[in-house]
Structure 1
Amino acid sequence: MKRQKRNQPERAFNRGYQAGVDGRSRNLCPHDTGETRQNWLNGWREGREDHWNGYNRFAQVQKITNL
């Protein structure tokens, strides 16, 4: 658990990816500025792209665990 808390950029990317896959708006980003916001938005963009390309849930989960 502590390891996740220390790696905030990766965690932000994964949460952004999930938001993108779920079709949520990028305006819902919980971060105001900085590297963490950029990582969240990068994850969101990649998640939206994967959603539009038709990746199923299994492929999306594999992608997140391999990052």
Structure 2
Amino acid sequence: MRRLKRDPMERAFQRGYQHGVQGKSRDTCPFSNPEVRQNWMNGWREGRTDNWDGLRGISGVHRLNEMHAVG
């Protein structure tokens, strides 16, 4: 079965979210392209907010899946 490549902007957001919900620093952003970096930072901010709201671990993953389904 052929796999479709995911949108790099969506992937950057998801990776940023995962770092944010884990409480990692925003300085760990691996991207240098300004557009992709901005999506990563947006995801990181959402993840940090969820982390502060107590959504850690599996709860954060469920939240990410919900955002993905809506967006």
Task: Give the structure-2-normalised TM-score.
Answer: 0.79
Alpha-carbon distance between aligned partners in 2 of 1:3 and 1:22, rounded to the nearest angstrom? 25
**Per-residue CA shift, 1:10-66, capped at 9, x if unaligned?**
000000000001111101100113211000000000100100011243331122122
Matches within 5 A, 1:14-25: 14-25=14-25
How does the TM-score come out when normalised to structure 1?
0.84
Letter in 1 for 2:55: Y
Count the aligned residue pairs: 65
RMSD: 1.4
Runs of 4+ in 1 over 4 A off after TM superposition: none
Give the share of equivalent positions with the same residue, in percent.
48
Q: Mind listing any 5+ residue stretches in structure 1 that lack a counterpart?
A: none
Structure 2 unmatched runs, 5+? none
* Structure with greater helix percent: 1
